[in-house]
Structure 1
Amino acid sequence: MKEIKKALTFEDILLIPAYSEVLPKEVNLKTNLTKHITLNSPFVSAAMDTVTEHRTAISIARMGGIGIIHKNMDTSAQINEVKKVKKSESGVINDPIYIQADRTLADAKLITDNYKISGVPVVDKDGKLIGILTNRDTRFESDLSKQVGEVMTKAPLITAKENTSLEVAKDIMHSHKIEKLPIVNENNILKGLITIKDIQKRIEYPNSNKDDFGRLRVGAAIGVFQVERARALAEAGVDVIVLDSAHGHSLNVLKTIELIKKQLSVELIVGNVVTKEATRDLINAGADGIKVGIGPGSICTTRIIAGVGMPQISAIMDCASEAKKHNIPIIADGGIKYSGDVAKAIALGASCVMIGSLLAGCEEAPGDIVIYQGRQYKSYRGMGSIGAMTSGSSDRYFQEGVAKEKLVPEGIEGRVPYRGKIADIIFQLEGGLRSSMGYLGSKDIPSLWNKVEFVQITSAGLRESHVHDVDITKEAPNYHG
């Protein structure tokens, strides 16, 4: 009979403090998501249909992390979510949305409502800038059948040439009291757009996670053999594809990695796995990042239904030991309840953490706020729940095409307390991580990996760690009993 190994999770351990010259405010949280994509903050929102659509992805990217748009929608809808993130802000919008003068105000309203923008440049059939349509032009217009050309602010307009810096653009907009500055070439062809809102957002969110064009970064999930979906997402500008499977160490996942890497030039994260052997096989197949975790999530029942999984701390350590040989980051996916869990996951080898339940209760997450017994909640369900699988995630659990009444779920549907804005949650999680790194004397994440020590604790040690022998009269924003 084989030896039964011991495995540990977050509540089984504590990190040992060390001599430190590092203050929490001095800590650098920059880390890698994949081989070539970095994050300014090590937080990733889960590819779940009650967690991440464009609002969540925008908010977490502004805080320095990244959101992964779930795949429980058709390809065109998922692409639209990605585009909403990419269009939400930019240093210079290099492919601005535009409209032609013979279109109606109703057409313009569809565009502005869909992309949450306040105006669009107007071009002729050759792409030359001939006007701009803003809220100021349409505010008192009730006849939406009018053509854009009748209402727009016409040329000559205040414009700037290509390669104009944001500082110069800001001065131009300030001096002319305008909020949008079209960028044109020597032939007056529209080439870009700078908005005052984007400049203000750069000041408001200095840590935001952006691509080389100044757009917020975003990822999107796909299933096995969804190569054409991956291609369409890549063409839409997605920064990273997440090949999402409950069991990443499987033949079809490996085949899909090879197909995608052979056909597309896109960063690819693959999961989920919990062993060094699985990590090695996915990396050898071409994965640029590894997602770790089977069964640690609050709404996941895989470990109970299938009897399969690995406590998350041991899974992280096992996978990280292999991934670091190849310089490939791992993402710890699931089981995070407190900022201390984030610190433990990263200290023991993860480059970043994927979060579901803590963000599902936020204002930006999909779904409405509901009132139950006088308190506010939002719905939260596992992608292995009956509801999620019938909406499109059954392939993640190898049950694609199975009738609803024959599905074997590996997750539940529930509700979580309403938690307010994502920015506030990330602020507290970051604060806890910074505090931990201060205790450990680590100025950045790589130095944390190299020096951390930890102890296994007993149930008595866990009780001692939590609040005890007192009634909480005022809840803290980062702790719940």
Structure 2
Amino acid sequence: MKILDEVSRTLNEFLLVPGLTTADCTPDTVDLGAPLVRHRVGEPAAIRVATPLTSAIMGAVSSPRLAIALAQCGGLSFVHQNQPVAAQAAMVQAVKRHKAGFRFSDINIKPSATLGEVALLLESAERDVAVVTDDGSPHGRFIGLISTDDFHPHRHDLASPVASRMRPAQDLVTAPPTITLSEANTLIWDHRLDVLPVVDAGGLLQSIVLRRDYELHKRFRNESIDADKRFRVGAGVNTHDYRERIPALVEAGADLLCIDSSDGYSVWQADTLAFVRDTYGGRVRIGAGNVVDARAFRYLADAGADFVKVGIGGGSICTTRDQKGIGRGQASALIDVVAGRDAYAAETGVYVPLCCDGGLLTDAHMAVAFALGADFVMLGRYFARFDESPAPLVRVGGQFFKEYWGEGSNRARNVSRYEHGGGSRLTFEEGVDGYVPYAGSLYDNVALTIAKLKATMISCGATGLPGFHRDAVLVPVSQQSFLQNSAEIQLRDRPGDAGR
């Protein structure tokens, strides 16, 4: 038995001490770019992101729609592996079919649907136009468009079919899949379009380009894209069926893989990493984890992991610590693993990025994680709250929530991630099933998070994550200091807060 001479600390137990803010510390000069894969010290990584946020490998979080939105914002999504190989590969392909500026059509309806149904759809989605396809799917045969300008609920019979008021395809400007974003935007402005459908030679809808995305594209100039300007996407794998799953995901176009496990310090992860290296050499990149100390980091780095995830039991829906008694406070885990990473880089000349996974309930926690040395973070609850997550939106007690469940819950039944001695079912749960408050658009929330992270770095005198890692000064928080972290008055309700 060995007892560590430390207190296990969370990210909430630290505050950053401000540094000198110099004239070059402005939001425009702060660079949040980070490497996602191992690289020689002093050389650029083969895969980088402009926004160091990735979505968790969870069925309640990472869908093609969210992956596209996050890539537009400069981050990366990891499609979950708790599904058949073909289904996961299809999700990866759905993301790779889209290029920067080309949006997945998420508001679709059949021509036989009623005007009342489309009105309800547009109201609930807070949109003003829907795409009409023969089967109501994002990639069905394109039939037309219908917007709130095409009918009025008090003037037109809401029982009438959408086909009676829609603008048919033959009267609309469309574009082929070969069109560039620049050409698409020219069509939009020349023809005064709100929506430009991209339709293939067979009449099937491939994507849409929205006029309102023009400013979004200008604001987020650093989309995560590959050499062909397709959005980058990651995918989770496990240590059971990796010989079948990994080739399928590589064929589908996955840019980055990650072994999805609650505890990554195992020979099974080393075997999976060896399979990738032996089969693909350096052509396929794969991360591993999760770990909480430098020993485990070194084991996975030596085995060839391209990045290592840090964190056990710190997730908002994780009960591993309660159920198994293992884990470590996220701050303590990062401090130990960061020291191991830096020692490994000094010894080998190879830098292996770290992903902070868990214990991140606020934007301030993210800032502390970056200050402690994390290169990027992986978020579940954060992304589950948004429109783009696949979880259902529900109303509970007059407020809107998104459903959210852990991969260790019986709802997910992710046996490949939480193996309790064999069999095809979970012996006990290591996660819960519940709700998180609905927060609206991913685009708006990620922009807000980026603004907060940049503001924190400016206050600390940093213009990039490497300098932030090196120069940040942190202090442990006492109980009394913790109590003063929030306002001590009764806050006034703000307009728009009701029902949210």
Bigger Cα displacement from structure 2, 420-429 vs 2-11: 2-11
Q: Quote the Cα distance in structure 2 between the aligned partners of 1:409 and 1:448.
A: 38
| Residue 213 of structure 1: how far off its partner (Å) | 0.8
1:344 maps to 368
Q: How does 1:452-463 map to 2 (within 5 A)?
A: 452-463=472-483
Q: Secondary structure at the match of 2:487?
A: coil
Residue identity opposite 2:321 in structure 1: R
TM-score of the superposed pair, with normalisation by structure 1 = 0.78
The residue number in structure 1 matching 2:121 is none
Judge conservation of contact 1:296–1:311 (CA < 8 Å) in 2: yes
Q: Of the candidates 262, 284, 289, which is equivalent to residue 246 of structure 1?
A: 262
Matched, 1:474 2:493: yes
Name the CA distance, whole Å, in 1 between partners of 2:317 and 2:192: 51
For the residues of structure 1 that align with 2:175 and 2:382, how far apart are their CA atoms?
Answer: 46
Distance 1:432 1:475, change over 3 A: farther
Which residue in 2 is equivalent to 1:261? 277
Distance across 2 between alignment mates of 1:371 and 1:261: 48
Judged with a 3 Å threshold, the aligned counterparts in structure 2 of structure 1 residues 177 and 356 are, in CA distance, closer, same or farther, namely closer
Q: Is the 8 A contact 1:92 1:213 kept in 2?
A: no
Amino acid at match of 2:492: T
Tell me the equivalent position of 1:122. Answer: none
Task: Report SS of the residue matched to 2:265.
Answer: coil
Give the aligned partner of residue 363 of structure 1. 387
* Residue identity (%): 29
TM value normalised by structure 2: 0.75
For residues 330 and 476 of structure 1, what CA distance do their matches in structure 2 show?
40
Kindly provide the CA deviation profile for residues 191-243 of structure 1, in whole angstroms up to 9, marking residues without a partner as x: xx998669947446423211111111111111104122111111111110111
Aligned partners of 1:369 and 1:168: how far apart in 2?
36
Q: Which residue number corresponds to residue 32 of structure 2?
A: 29
- Structure 2 partner of 1:222: 237
Q: Give the C-alpha shift of residue 4 in structure 1.
A: 3.4
Structure 2: how far apart are the matches of 1:299 and 1:220? Answer: 21
Match of 1:450 in 2: 470
Structure 1: distance between partners of 2:495 and 2:370: 24
Unaligned 5+ residue runs, structure 2? 39-45, 104-131, 146-160, 164-168
State the 1:337 CA deviation.
Answer: 1.1
* Secondary structure of the corresponding residue to residue 286 of structure 2: strand
- Residue type of the alignment partner of 2:262: A
Verify the 8 A CA contact 2:134 2:141 in the aligned structure 1: no
Which position in structure 2 is the counterpart of 1:281? 299
Structure 2 residue matching 1:396: 3-state secondary structure? coil
Partner AA of 1:222 in structure 2: V
Correspondence 1:378-457 to 2 at 5 A: 378-389=402-413, 393-399=414-420, 402=423, 404=425, 407-457=427-477
Give the letter for the 1:303 counterpart.
R
The residue number in structure 2 matching 1:75 is 85
Alignment-derived partner of residue 235 in structure 1: 251
Q: Secondary structure at the match of 1:254?
A: helix
* Residue type at the aligned position of 2:68: I
Tell me the residue number matched to 2:124: none
The alignment status of 1:65 with 2:75, answered yes or no, reads: yes
Q: Provide the C-alpha distance between the structure 2 equivalents of 1:330 and 1:357, rounded to a whole number of angstroms.
A: 20
Gapped regions of structure 1 (runs ≥ 5):
94-108, 120-133, 143-150, 185-192
Whether 1:53 and 2:68 are equivalent positions in the alignment is no
Look up the equivalent residue of 2:395 and give its one-letter code. I
Shift of 1:382: 1.2
> What's the CA shift for 1:420?
0.9
- Letter of the aligned partner of 1:260 in structure 2? V
The residue type equivalent to 1:276 in the other structure is A
Calculate the aligned-residue CA RMSD, in Å: 3.4
Counterpart code for 2:229? G
Task: Report the alpha carbon displacement of residue 323 of structure 1 after superposing the two structures with TM.
Answer: 2.2
Aligned residue in 1 for 2:4? 4
Change (3 A) 1:477 1:438: farther
1:270–1:291: 8 Å Cα contact kept in structure 2? Answer: yes
1:183–1:323 Cα change, 3 Å: farther
Summarize deviations over 1:262-306 as a string: whole Å, max 9, x none. 113211011111111111111111110111100001111111111
- CA contact 1:48–1:69 (8 Å) conserved in 2: yes
Aligned residues of 1:16 and 1:454 also touching (Cα < 8 A): yes
Higher share of residues assigned helix: 1
How far did 1:183 drift? 12
Whether the aligned pair in 2 keeps the contact of 1:53 and 1:365 (CA below 8 Å) is yes
CA distance in structure 1 between the aligned counterparts of 2:87 and 2:421, rounded to whole angstroms: 20
- Establish whether residue 331 from structure 1 lines up as the match of residue 363 from structure 2: no
